[in-house]
Amino acid sequence: MDKTSKSTGEQITLLKMALSLMKVGTIGFGGGIAIISLLEREWVERLHCLEVEEFLHGVGLGQILGPLAVNTSIFIGYRTFGLVGALVAEIAFLLPSIIVVILLSWLYFSFQSIPSLKTALTGIAPVVIAMIMSAAWSIGRKAIRSKIALGLCLAACLGSLTHINTLWILAIAGLMGWLFKLNRSQSHHTQNKLFLLLPPVIQLLPHNYPVIFATINAVASVNLLMLAWVFLKVGFVFFGGGFVLIPILNQHLVNDLGWLTQQQFLDGVAISQVTPGPIAVLGTFAGYRVAGIPGALTATAALFAPATVLMLLICQFYQKFHGIKAVKDFLAGVNPAVVGLIVAAAIALAPKALNLAHPLGIILCLVSWFLLAYCQWHPAIVLVMGAIVGISLPEFFG
């Protein structure tokens, strides 16, 4: 079973797909949108297995439930090798993150400390912003080909920055694309090469989720079935991207269930942020605390299960109906909105990564963007460069 690259003629086997996604999962620092930039570079620009429009459809559909990067990987796997490809893609993408989190969880609960990665992360953060900017630039040049598309992009960016629900943004953008027959009208426009590129993560849903669990005091009494049920229920309210898990899990695991102390939870958030892959691996950390490695694997599988099932259904629906003109117009409206969300993500993250009083981070961000967008350096090399700068010159980052 294989697939041929549309431009290079290279045979893409199931193993090659798995190794490619495992590589992205290994260097995917910075959260969902940053990882999307790596997936776009790998599957649109390098392997040419997906058209940019099709990739954007996957990104848009992947924001309905669960972690964006994982859902996009499922979409890539399904479009390449069907159901088997989707499941292999998800496992391959998550495997590096799960291994690292389990290792760090073992170190933490064994020695009550976290390896000091702060200085390296100060250098990685500006590179992550550059990666997101590069993705917005690369995708936007292809997706924004009319004034209407540009307007949808800017409106989506503004909507995200003002905390409007992402699903509403994408739904309205798709409706506008259908009303204006955007897919058909854009065929008469040349590619818009000059559009606003603002520097990026999607604003989150409100945090007032209802309490759905009874209090359980003793971690030792928790079995794997109970652990799976707890995280499965969390998976069903996992809307809005990875960071939405923080308030949900804090309420349930610390306040309601008592499985983690507040300090352990905060340290778990730190571990999930310094590892590659989605922040949702916070569930892996919590599962390890409750039941060791089996608990970590059980919690992870249960947390991702609802989004995985829904994404597989969406992929099947997409495969059957994406060729219909009305659906194409709807998705043509979604595409520029996704670009706007990526831009909004860069704007939201920039203040945490860049400090005007310490310009080295800004310089590193601009240099990284140039190396990624114009010199076509591999993101892993640029990430290592940023980590080295952060470790060598921490005093210049503030």
Query: Closest by alpha carbon to 219, among 272, 277, 264?
Result: 264
3-state secondary structure of 8: coil
Q: Do residue 182 and residue 61 come from a single domain?
A: yes
Q: Do residue 36 and residue 148 come from a single domain?
A: yes
Q: Do residue 18 and residue 94 come from a single domain?
A: yes
Q: Do residue 275 and residue 338 come from a single domain?
A: no
Final residue belonging to a domain, choices 257, 273, 303:
303
Domain contains 201: no
pLDDT tens track for 29-43 = 666 667 888 888 888
Q: Do residue 100 and residue 176 come from a single domain?
A: yes
For residues 239 and 204, what is the distance between their CA atoms, to the nearest angstrom? 9
Domain ranges, residue 244 = 219-303
Tokens of 139: 């995708």
Domain contains 202: no
Q: Give the pLDDT of residue 239.
A: 56
Final residue belonging to a domain, choices 258, 282, 303:
303
Q: Do residue 240 and residue 171 come from a single domain?
A: no
Query: Closest by alpha carbon to 92, among 13, 26, 10?
Result: 26
Q: Give the pLDDT of residue 216.
A: 33
Q: Give the pLDDT of residue 108.
A: 80
Q: Do residue 234 and residue 298 come from a single domain?
A: yes
CA 167 vs CA 74, 99, 135, 156, 310: distances in Å: 19, 32, 21, 11, 15
Q: Give the pLDDT of residue 208.
A: 37
Q: Give the pLDDT of residue 278.
A: 75
For residues 398 and 119, what is the distance between their CA atoms, to the nearest angstrom? 11
Amino acid type, 389: V
Domain contains 354: yes
Do 185 and 148 touch, CB atoms closer than 8 A?
Answer: yes
Q: Give the pLDDT of residue 8.
A: 56
Query: Closest by alpha carbon to 52, among 158, 239, 191, 203?
Result: 191
Domain contains 214: no
- From first to last of its 398 residues, the chain has per-residue pLDDT tens of 556 555 555 678 899 999 999 988 888 766 666 788 888 888 888 888 888 888 888 888 887 777 888 899 999 999 889 999 999 999 999 999 899 889 988 888 887 655 455 676 678 778 878 877 887 887 788 778 888 999 999 998 998 888 887 778 878 998 998 898 887 666 544 444 433 333 333 333 333 333 333 333 344 446 889 999 989 988 886 655 555 566 677 777 888 888 888 778 767 766 776 677 776 788 899 999 988 999 999 999 999 999 899 999 989 888 777 777 787 788 788 778 878 877 887 787 788 778 877 788 899 999 998 998 888 787 778 878 888 888 888 877 76
Which spans in the chain are helix H? Answer: 14-27, 32-40, 52-61, 68-111, 118-143, 147-161, 166-179, 182-185, 224-235, 245-249, 262-274, 282-321, 325-353, 360-373, 379-392
For residues 112 and 107, what is the distance between their CA atoms, to the nearest angstrom? 7
Q: Give the pLDDT of residue 176.
A: 92
Q: What is the pTM of this model?
A: 0.63
Do 299 and 94 touch, CB atoms closer than 8 A?
Answer: no
Domain contains 200: no
Pairing of strands 11-13, 2-4: antiparallel
Domain contains 326: yes
Q: Give the pLDDT of residue 199.
A: 35
Q: Do residue 290 and residue 348 come from a single domain?
A: no
Q: Do residue 269 and residue 327 come from a single domain?
A: no
Domain contains 206: no
Final residue belonging to a domain, choices 269, 303, 337:
303
How many separate domains does the chain show?
Answer: 2
Q: Do residue 253 and residue 319 come from a single domain?
A: no
Domain contains 211: no
Q: Do residue 389 and residue 374 come from a single domain?
A: yes
3-state secondary structure of 355: strand
Q: Do residue 276 and residue 316 come from a single domain?
A: no
